[in-house]
Amino acid sequence: MNKKHGICSKILIVVLIFVSLLIGCKSGGTKATKEEVTVNTPKDNTAVVEDIKQAEKIFNALPSPLESAMLIKSAGARFDASLLNPVGNGNSYVTNKSMALNLGIYTCDLSFASLYEQTQLIIDYMNAAKKMADGLGILKAVEQSQIDKLEENINNSEVIMEIVSETFMNSNSYLSDNGQPAIAAMVLVGGWFEGLYISTQLVDLKEFNGNKLVGRIIDQKLSIDILINLLESSKGNPAVDDLIVQVRRLKVVFDKISITTSKIRPEYDKTSNTTILKSEIKTDMTPEVFKELSTTVSEIRKTFVNN
Amino acid sequence: MRILRIISILAFLIAATTFSVDGQCKAFAKKVCIPELGVYTHDGNYHAAILVEGEEAELYKTFYSDMEYRVSVCGEDKLPEVEFRVLDANKNVLYSNKDANFAKTWDFKLQSSQQLKLVVKVNSFNKPGETPASGCVAIMFGFKIKK
């Protein structure tokens, strides 16, 4: 009886340790969590509140694939289907890293196709994104009902955007809420690189000066540190560590671009109920630096899509 | 064997309950925060967490010129007011919803692209001796689609 009791106690301890680790792992980059606060409830909770005040949750927000595609379109760029990652490549992505990166890439391609109303490509890339999400075990990221709705509303851009946005949120919320911040970060990185890749490929060097798309590419320098911080919050994950090395290589090129901005002056516009953040910006990127940037982005992206 | 089964079920339930707490934040964000974006298209990104009264969260994001944005910051009803401030790289406050009766949304556009910081703080009920309230806080961004 004692022996049996001893075995059960050991199992209980192992299971409790497992559960503790599971819960601990889930809290990710948050310095202090609600669990830490509610478990220890001292009589005087002033100290607890002080602890909470010091606690912080940091979000490093990259432009979503939809926003990246919107930035390309608003710069007046043309659509070029040959720049997208062929959907047939989807079969070769079997690791979590390649599926995560290509979920971001395919979602960006899907957004790009959606904004330019490329009906058949919208369906194809939605299915390609679904395949990546399914491979990553993301439950209900893209449901058949959403694909059906997409097909039924293929000429309604508003509904299409809504579905693209919703499916992407389903994926990243699932990953964030289920303790997979590294995968969530890789999805965002994939989408960001795809937007940058498409932008750099669409620039015509003959029309370099004053090109709005070049301006959008320069703007990405503002996100490079956010990108590094996002990845560093999952440092130690071998796939993420590899990506950090690649992103740092890209940062070296971005550092050759100068951006200076004046002080921001918020001005409220009553008629539109909108605040306009006024400021002047000076940027400098030579065609040589652009070529180097374009080559670097292309080489890194190649490692993502060629697996 | 029976005890082992009970322990396994117990462990699963504890883990499942913990994970579902954050899962509720997704439902909250979807049901409450995204509708606040109105005519602005949600960018698809998800920023939500459980915060305790008095706690702060920070968000860093680049915003682009010529885009029209709406940010929506929402907290569950059981929480006190959620305050949010938008700061530039030099920590100058560009907007505070405290000056707008803790409005949940803010519409803005930029003359030139900038990296901004959003600081979200759950205010306090100031009830000493009571366990601080906690709940989901979501930060969602939308932009206007240009045809």
Range of the domain at B16: 2-143
Residues A236 and A104 in one domain: yes
Residues A47 and A131 in one domain: no
* B39/A contact by beta carbon, under 8 A: no
The pLDDT value recorded for residue A177 is: 86
pLDDT digits (tens, 9 = 90+) for A8-61: 555 555 554 444 444 433 333 333 333 332 323 333 444 444 444 444 699 999
Least Cα distance to A155 among A122, A200, A185 occurs for: A122
Residues A37 and A100 in one domain: no
Residues A105 and A22 in one domain: no
Residues A32 and A75 in one domain: no
Residues A69 and A196 in one domain: yes
The pLDDT value recorded for residue A161 is: 93
Range A242-247, long-range pairs (CB < 8 A, 24+ positions)? A242/A97, A243/A186, A243/A189, A246/A300, A246/A303, A247/A189
Residue A107, domain member (yes or no): yes
The answer to whether the Cβ–Cβ distance between A275 and B61 falls below 8 Å is: no
- Cβ(A198)–Cβ(A83) under 8 Å? yes
Confidence of residue A144 (pLDDT cuts 50, 70, 90): confident
Range of the domain at A122: 65-257+286-305
Give chain A positions within 8 Å (CB) of B27: none
Residues A155 and A299 in one domain: yes
Best mutation target among B10, B60, B108, B124 (most A Cβ atoms within 10 Å) is B60
Residue of B nearest to A75 (CA): B66
**Shortest distance, CA A161 to any CA of chain B (angstroms):** 7
Which amino acid makes up residue B86? Answer: V
pLDDT digits (tens, 9 = 90+) for A232-251: 999 999 999 999 999 999 99
What CATH number did the domain enclosing B19 receive? 2.60.120.380
Contact map slice: A 177-206 vs B, CB within 8 A: 177-179, 188
Number of domains composing chain B? 1
Residue of A nearest to B139 (CA): A59
pLDDT for A99 beyond 70: yes
* B1/A contact by beta carbon, under 8 A: no
Strands (E), chain A: 56-61, 258-261, 265-269, 274-278, 281-284
pLDDT digits (tens, 9 = 90+) for B20-54: 455 679 999 999 999 999 999 999 999 999 999 99
CA distances from A47 to A40, A155, B133 (A): 11, 58, 15
Give chain B positions within 8 Å (CB) of A165: 41-44
* A20/B contact by beta carbon, under 8 A: no
- Cβ(B82)–Cβ(B74) under 8 Å? yes
Residue A181, domain member (yes or no): yes
Q: What is the pTM of this model?
A: 0.84
Number of domains composing chain A? 2
Residues A173 and A74 in one domain: yes
> What is the percent of chain A with per-residue pLDDT over 90, rounded to a whole number?
75
Q: Who among A8, A55, A61 is closest to B3 (CB)?
A: A8
Residue of B nearest to A273 (CA): B107
Residue of B nearest to A55 (CA): B55
Residue A269, domain member (yes or no): no
Residues A84 and A43 in one domain: no
CA distances from A153 to A12, A114, A157, A163, A170 (A): 54, 12, 8, 10, 20
The answer to whether the Cβ–Cβ distance between A219 and B95 falls below 8 Å is: no
Residues A93 and A142 in one domain: yes
Residue A280, domain member (yes or no): no
Which amino acid makes up residue A275? Answer: T
Residues A44 and A122 in one domain: no
Residues A15 and A116 in one domain: no
Lowest mean pLDDT segment, chosen from A185-194, A228-237, B4-13, B37-46: B4-13
| ipTM passes above 0.90 | no
Least Cα distance to A175 among A128, A220, A139, A122 occurs for: A139
